[in-house]
């Protein structure tokens, strides 16, 4: 059997995987003993904080720390000139040189220009929090305001003030497949729509924090809240030290959602440790997190969709503009995700897509759960609904008619290589929902809608992704698992243990997972892009199989049994005439010079880098499909929306831990509902008006209904046991399900997020006269 | 700089006498002076609930209460709900069984909010529990498992002490 076949076991052969096991990390979190990055705190540590620009666009004409340095307890104040290499570089792939540089940079500490409100200008290091706060206020920076630009379309217009010297167009992507003009000419129906999403904050409960120190052998060590321990390499470049002399430890993270994919506190703690040679702690306030850390891209999406009278979609003509904010970060890739996902889980033969993202003087935008693949759900699902309504067909019917099936090819050129259960997810939510809602009173209207989506799991194939894991027995038969995975709360570490528990038949409580350490663990890569189960899951699977097979082979050689007749069961090696405790099998291994450990690296699917004109045999490893259903009621006088019922169905391939799968889905739905109805980073000429949780509206327990989760298991995914990734996929459909249900209730479709009561009322005003006040 | 003070606060049954500069919040005092780190900093303005503790039985946001105000008080944090051997107490077990924590950062505050609502009878229905949770934000779970955990802890307590929490169901 190939490794791929070995990994895809049948569901009924599994005894630990697929069990809804209460996670061990939960137990300590609930006991209150988990030590998060910010929980290492002592008076002996130095404190560090940033002085940030209060203005969004200015030349910096003077920086002076003399007064601040007089504050008792201040140790050092650093400006950009004090940073050995004052830049972080990011790849901007696939762009022609005249459009944008292939690499873009931003300063660690801005020197002569600031481009967004909250950009760091100085780093203050002090003995106490009090000295720190006082000194930050006394650092003198003179700003000479310059003309900024705050809208991506304006930024791309002739004569716009350039945010960067090379112009404001950061990246663009095109898709041209089939004959779009002929498809539209021959269509029975063309529907158009323009949709607008807003900037959104990750708002994880744990603000950015960490501690750093110089460890033995001069290794600069950072213990920080991050999704990416591999940023130790960026830190090494900034300091000009060998990568091997920097180590990043990620303890359990208090939520990431993409917001801890780029560096946050890392370079600053590292600089402070490097300069002072002491232990330094930094914790961003919620206000600076909301003000200055990268947001979700707001997108303006114009869709024209051509259909036949039977509901078949024959063409899509799509134009997307995204706001990248002041620096590149991951914008080019986020926009690429938008482009590839823009037609949704449907077969469309004729597609024209133009997508661009522009620099502005707004806060930067970057990774956020869904990563550009989720904003477009509002576009393509609203269009599908419109097609269905105008043709008098059901939304479910039109979706199923157009659903991708295994063997179809995406507009970008990538074939779908695994079974697609989209139709089953549609049937599942519709059957579970029962009768449509009825209004509870005379000035209420009720509505229902479904929304389907697809979302990739695993990183872009040309990034040559890999993950490694080590699994080893202790002599007492307990097991250690070493894997550099960052556990951001999704049960990443626990799921890996569950895979090993399955394969070695070892109880979960006899497995220790050592995770989140760039120095002591095999490199697992980032906890982003819904990739950890696919990548580290397969690596742990393969390392465990290697270990298991070594033990069985050693026992076979010792006893004369055939290796394939032996198996591990209840902490024993068991065969036709053998029942040997694992502890004795391990002793056999030691006598026979057989290692009692396994180490494996899993390499993701490969592909070549795309160019601006997107045409690729493969962009992503694979996709996860799902459908949501939303019932809601609208108060026609106030515009308030009451969510009545929410059902989410996804094919997760194989549910390694059904509780964790369910948690990922309900959490993503809640975050999607927050974006649909409440959340918005409000910017006024680059000034953030929502830099506090009083202003930035997060969904509370009274806003989110009980969410019913339906898990389908095709066993077709590329992860261990046929699992697909599920971290990001459920966040997109709520946008369109809510918008569609409001359309169903009041007769007019909201197209701008968030769908505030004011916007609902605007829909009611435009609606048929029966809805207006009496 | 404010005048240095000394406060005595009983935290999870341990009487601690420590310094507390006049401006120091109870949250920072707990975390940085008393080394009790289960209450979390999430917003610093009493909105997110991550720092929720009980002060003399009252549910408070410890980030907007001064340590000096807690002088002489009893403070209970989530860690104080554990049994003496460190194992989970009944409410905590309900959270564990219902998978009510993911990243876990909101969990200590959620637990203390739950203790308060169970004590004063606001946990009578799922809607009531949701209402009582409105000042505690969770970004991972979608709240459903937390509501279920509190519901089941309530039911278990009612079995242990029948009738105490549901007088309205008594037959005439």
Q: State the pTM of this model.
A: 0.96
Of A239, A256, A283, the domain-final residue: A283
Q: What does the alpha-carbon distance between residue A557 and residue A426 come to, in Å, rounded to a whole number?
A: 53
User: First vs last Cα of chain B: how many Å apart?
Assistant: 64
A96 plus A235 within the same structural domain: yes
- Same domain, residue pair A446 and A341: yes
Backbone dihedral angles phi then psi of residue B12, each to the nearest 5 degrees? 50, 40
pLDDT at A43: 87
Predicted pLDDT of residue B165: 46
Classify B16 as helix, strand or coil: strand
Give me the residue from A20, A488, A700 closest to B137, CB to CB.
Answer: A700
Cβ <8 Å between A693 and B43: yes
The ranges assigned to domains in chain B are 6-80, 81-159
What integer pLDDT is reported at residue B169 of this predicted model?
42
- Which of A43, A489, A707 is the closest to B104 by Cβ? A489
Q: Which residue of B has its CA nearest to A71?
A: B1
A479 in the same domain as A617 = no
Q: Identify the CA nearest to A469 among candidates A528, A531, A530, A541.
A: A541
- Which of A32, A133, A665 is the best mutation test for B, with the most CBs of B within 10 A? A32
A chain contacts of residue B136, beta-carbon cutoff 8 Å: 700-701
Handedness of CA A707, A711, A712, A716 (dihedral sign): positive
Interface of B with A in 65-124 (CB under 8 A): 77-79, 81-82, 86, 88, 92, 95-97, 99-108, 111
Separation of alpha carbons B34 and B9, rounded Å:
10
Q: How many domains does chain A have?
A: 3
pLDDT for the residue A180: 98
Q: Are both A87 and A223 inside the same structural domain?
A: yes
Sequential DSSP letters for A36-84: -GGG---TTSEEEEEEE-SSSSEEEEEEE-HHHHTSTTEEEEE-GGGST
Point out the residue among B77, B133, B140 whose CB comes nearest to the CB of A255: B140
In this structure, what DSSP letter does residue A111 have?
A: S
Let me know: does A345 contact A420? Beta carbons within 8 Å.
yes
Joined together, the tokens standing for residue A277 give 């040679």
Give me the DSSP letters along A132-188: HHHHHHH-EEEEEE-----SHHHHHSTTPPPSSTT-SEEEEEEEEES-HHHHHHT-S
Judge whether A169 and A156 are in contact, CB under 8 Å.
Answer: yes
DSSP notation for chain B = -PPP-EEEEEETTEEEEEE--TT-BHHHIIIIIS---SS--S-SSSSS-TTEEEETTEEEEGGGSBGGGGTT-EEE-GGGGS-TTS---HHHHHHHHTT--SS-SSHHHHHHHHHHHHHTTTTSSHHHHHHHTTT---SSS-SHHHHHHHHHHHHHHHHHSTTSS-GGG---
Instruction: Show the CA angle centred on residue A542, arms to residues A537 and A547, nearest 5°.
Output: 125
Q: Is residue A176 part of a domain?
A: no
**CA nearest neighbour of A83 among A229, A327, A267:** A267
Mean pLDDT computed over B121-144: 98
Q: Do A47 and A282 contact (CB within 8 A), yes or no?
A: yes
Residues of chain B with Cβ-Cβ distance to A667 below 8 Å are 102, 139-142
Same domain, A452 and A488: no
A491 near A479, Cβ under 8 Å? no
The rounded distance, in Å, linking the Cα atoms of B160 and A575 is 49
Mean pLDDT by 10 residues, chain A (774 residues): 63 90 93 97 94 98 98 98 93 59 82 98 97 98 97 97 93 96 98 98 98 97 97 96 97 98 97 98 98 97 98 98 96 96 98 98 98 98 98 98 98 96 98 97 97 97 95 98 97 96 96 97 96 97 98 97 96 95 98 98 92 90 98 97 98 97 98 98 98 97 98 97 97 98 97 98 86 52
Helices A733-746 and A375-391 pack at an angle, to 10 degrees, of: 40
Q: Which among A537, A579, A583, A532 is positioned nearest to A559, based on CA atoms?
A: A579
Give the nearest chain A residue to B1 (CA atoms).
Answer: A130
Please check whether residue A508 is in contact with residue A24, taking contact to mean a CB–CB distance below 8 angstroms.
yes
Identify whether residues A24 and A87 lie together within a single domain. Answer: no
Residues B55 and B65: their CA atoms lie apart, in Å, by 10
CA distance A472 to A595: 9
- Which superfamily does CATH assign the domain made up of B6-80 to? Beta-grasp domain (3.10.20.30)
What is the pairing mode between strands A88-91 and A103-106? antiparallel
**Chain B within 8 Å of A72 (Cβ-Cβ)?**
no
Question: What pLDDT, on the 0 to 100 scale, is given for residue A97?
Answer: 47
* Of A352, A356, A342, the residue nearest A317 (C-alpha): A352
Answer whether A584 touches B (CB < 8 Å): no
Predicted local confidence at residue B1, as pLDDT: 47
C-beta neighbour count of A770 within 10 angstroms: 7
Question: Pick from A448, A436, A379: which is nearest to A629 by CA?
Answer: A448
What is the pLDDT at residue B97? 96
Residues making up chain A, counted from first to last: 774
In this chain, the answer to whether the domains covering B6-80 and B81-159 adopt an identical fold is no
- Dig out the tokens for A559 from the structure: 């006893």
Chain A segment 696-715 residues within 8 A of B by beta carbon are 698, 700-702, 704, 706-707
Q: How far apart are CA A481 and CA A597, in angstroms?
A: 10
B81-159: CATH topology is DNA polymerase; domain 1 (1.10.150)
Nearest CA in chain B to A705: B144
- DSSP tag of A510: G
Report yes or no for ipTM above 0.90.
Answer: yes
- In terms of phi and psi (left: phi > 0; alpha: psi -120 to 50; beta: otherwise), the region of A413 is left
Q: What is the pLDDT of residue A11?
A: 76
In this complex, the residue of B40, B81, B99 whose CB is nearest that of residue A663 is B99
Q: Give the residue numbers spanning the domain of A305.
A: 299-460+609-771
Residue A118 DSSP code: T
Q: Assess whether A624 and A577 both reside in one domain.
A: no
* End-to-end Cα separation, chain A, in angstroms: 72
Are A242 and A325 part of one and the same domain?
A: no
Select from A536, A569, A603 the last residue of a domain: A603
Please tell me the predicted confidence (pLDDT) of residue A96: 53
From the CB of residue B13, how many other CB atoms can be counted at a distance below 10 Å?
A: 9
Which residue does chain A place closest to B135, by CA atoms? A700
With contact defined as beta carbons under 8 Å apart, do A489 and A475 qualify? Answer: no
CA distance A170 to A102: 10
Q: How far is Cα A448 from Cα B66, in angstroms, rounded to an integer?
A: 49
Q: Which pair of tokens denotes residue A503? A: 């394969």
Those residues whose C-beta lies under 8 Å from the C-beta of residue A242, and which sit 6 or more positions away, are A236
Q: Write the CATH number for A354.
A: 3.30.365.10
Choosing from A256, A283, A310, the residue where a domain stops is A283
Predicted confidence at residue B170, as pLDDT, reads 39
Is the CB of A706 less than 8 angstroms away from the CB of B126? yes
pLDDT in the model for residue A357: 97
CA-wise closest residue to A36 among A211, A202, A261: A211
DSSP 8-state code for residue A512: E
Is the separation of the CB atoms in A469 and A482 below 8 Å? yes
Taking residue A709's Cβ as centre, other Cβ atoms within 10 Å add up to 20
Answer whether A667 touches B (CB < 8 Å): yes
Residue A512 falls inside a structural domain = yes
Regarding whether A234 and A91 lie in a shared domain, the answer is yes
Partners of residue A475 on adjacent β-strands: none
- List, as ranges, residues 634-653 from A with C-beta within 8 Å of B: none
Which of helix, strand or coil describes residue A749? coil
Q: Does A253 touch chain B (CB under 8 A)?
A: yes
Half-sphere exposure of B21 (CA within 13 A, CB side): 9
Contact assessment for residue A382 and residue A344, using Cβ atoms and an 8 Å cutoff: no
Taking the C-alpha atoms of residue A620 and residue A606, their distance in angstroms, rounded to an integer, is: 9
Question: A502 and A640 in one domain?
Answer: no
Q: How many CB atoms lie within 10 A of CB A162?
A: 12
Residues of A in contact with B129 (CB under 8 A): 701
* Residue A553 maps to a domain: yes
A195 part of a folded domain: no
Asked if A30 lies within 8 A of B78 by C-beta distance, the reply is yes
């Amino acid at each position: 059997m190939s490794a791929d076949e070995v990994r895809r076991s049948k569901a009924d052969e599994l005894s630990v995987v697929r069990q809804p096991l209460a996670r061990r990390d939960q137990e300590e979190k609930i006991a209150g003993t988990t030590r998060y990055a910010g929980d290492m705190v002592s008076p002996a540590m130095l404190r560090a904080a940033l002085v940030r620009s209060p203005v969004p666009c200015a030349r910096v004409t003077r920086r002076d720390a003399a007064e601040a340095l007089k504050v008792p307890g201040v140790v050092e104040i650093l400006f950009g000139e004090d940073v050995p290499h004052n830049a972080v570089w990011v790849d901007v792939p696939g762009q022609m040189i005249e459009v944008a540089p292939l690499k873009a940079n931003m300063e660690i500490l801005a020197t002569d220009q600031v481009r967004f409100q909250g950009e760091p200008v100085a780093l203050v290091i002090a003995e106490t929090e009090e000295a720190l706060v006082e000194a930050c206020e006394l650092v003198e920076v003179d700003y000479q305001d310059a003309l900024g630009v705050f809208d991506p379309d304006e930024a791309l217009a002739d004569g716009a003030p350039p945010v960067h010297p090379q112009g404001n167009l950061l990246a663009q992507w095109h898709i041209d497949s089939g004959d779009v003009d002929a498809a539209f000419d021959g269509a029975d129906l063309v529907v158009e729509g323009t949709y607008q999403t807003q900037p959104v904050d990750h708002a994880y409960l744990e603000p950015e924090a960490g501690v750093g120190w110089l460890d033995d052998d001069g290794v600069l060590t950072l213990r920080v809240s991050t999704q990416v321990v591999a940023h130790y390499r960026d830190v090494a470049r900034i300091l000009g030290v060998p990568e091997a002399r920097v180590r990043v430890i990620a303890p359990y993270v208090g939520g990431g959602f993409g917001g801890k994919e780029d560096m946050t506190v890392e370079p600053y703690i590292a600089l402070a440790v490097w300069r002072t040679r002491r232990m330094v702690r930094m914790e961003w306030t919620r206000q600076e997190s909301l003000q200055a850390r990268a947001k979700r891209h707001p997108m303006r999406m114009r869709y024209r969709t051509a259909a036949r009278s039977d509901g078949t979609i024959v063409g899509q003509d799509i134009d997307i503009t995204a706001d990248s904010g002041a620096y590149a970060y991951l914008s080019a890739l986020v926009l690429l995700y938008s482009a590839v996902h823009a037609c949704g889980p449907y077969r469309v033969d004729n597609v024209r897509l133009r997508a661009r993202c522009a620099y502005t003087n707004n806060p930067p935008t970057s990774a956020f759960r869904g990563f550009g693949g989720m904003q477009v759900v509002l576009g393509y699902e609203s269009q599908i609904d419109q097609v269905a309504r105008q043709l008098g067909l059901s939304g479910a019917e039109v979706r199923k008619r157009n659903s991708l099936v295994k063997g179809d090819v995406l507009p970008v050129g990538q074939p779908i290589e695994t079974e697609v259960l989209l139709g089953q997810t549609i049937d599942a939510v519709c059957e579970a929902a029962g009768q449509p809602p009825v209004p509870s009173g005379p000035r209420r209207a009720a509505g229902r809608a479904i929304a389907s989506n697809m979302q990739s799991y695993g990183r872009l194939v040309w990034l040559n992704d890999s993950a490694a894991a080590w699994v080893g027995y202790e002599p007492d038969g307990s097991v250690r698992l070493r894997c550099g995975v960052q556990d951001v709360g999704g049960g990443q570490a626990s799921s890996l243990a569950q895979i090993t528990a399955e394969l070695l038949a070892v109880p979960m409580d006899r497995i220790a997972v050592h995770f989140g350490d760039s120095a002591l663990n095999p490199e697992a890569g980032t906890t982003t892009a819904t990739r950890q189960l696919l990548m580290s899951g397969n690596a742990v699977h393969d390392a465990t199989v290697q270990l298991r097979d070594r033990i069985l082979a050693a026992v076979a050689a010792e006893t004369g049994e055939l290796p394939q007749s032996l198996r591990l069961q209840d902490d024993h090696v068991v065969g036709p005439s053998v029942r040997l405790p694992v502890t004795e099998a391990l002793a056999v291994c030691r006598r026979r010079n057989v290692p009692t450990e396994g180490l494996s690296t899993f390499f993701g699917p490969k592909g070549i880098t795309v160019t601006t004109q997107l045409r690729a045999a493969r962009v992503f490893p694979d996709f996860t499909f799902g459908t949501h259903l939303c019932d809601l009621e609208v108060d026609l006088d106030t515009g308030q929306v009451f969510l009545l019922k929410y059902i989410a169905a996804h094919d997760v391939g194989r549910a390694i831990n059904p509780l964790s799968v369910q948690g990922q889905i309900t959490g993503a739905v809640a975050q999607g509902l927050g974006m649909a109805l409440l959340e918005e980073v409000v910017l006024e000429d680059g000034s953030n008006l929502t830099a506090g949780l009083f202003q930035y509206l997060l969904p509370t327990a009274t806003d989110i209904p009980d969410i019913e989760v339906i898990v389908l298991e095709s066993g077709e995914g590329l992860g261990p046991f046929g699992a697909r990734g599920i971290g990001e996929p459920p966040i997109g459909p709520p946008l369109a399900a809510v918008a569609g249900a409001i359309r169903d209730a009041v007769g007019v479709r909201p197209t701008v997020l968030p769908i505030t009561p004011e916007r609902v009322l605007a829909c009611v005003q435009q609606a048929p006269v029966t809805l207006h006040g009496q | 700089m404010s005048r240095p003070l000394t406060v005595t606060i009983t935290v999870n049954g341990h009487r601690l006498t420590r310094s507390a500069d006049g401006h120091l919040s109870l949250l920072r005092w707990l975390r940085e002076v008393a080394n009790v780190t289960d209450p979390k900093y999430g917003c610093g303005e009493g909105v997110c609930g991550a720092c929720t503790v009980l002060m003399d039985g009252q549910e408070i946001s410890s980030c907007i209460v001064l340590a000096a105000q807690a002088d002489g008080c009893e403070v209970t944090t989530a860690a104080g709900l554990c049994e003496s051997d460190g194992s989970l107490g009944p409410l905590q077990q309900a959270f564990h069984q219902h998978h009510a924590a993911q990243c876990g950062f909101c969990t200590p505050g959620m637990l203390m909010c739950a203790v308060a609502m169970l004590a004063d009878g606001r946990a009578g229905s799922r809607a009531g529990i949701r209402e009582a949770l409105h000042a505690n934000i969770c970004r991972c779970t979608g709240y459903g498992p937390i509501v279920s955990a509190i519901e089941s802890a309530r039911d278990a307590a009612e079995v242990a002490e029948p009738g105490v929490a549901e007088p309205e169901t008594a037959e005439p």
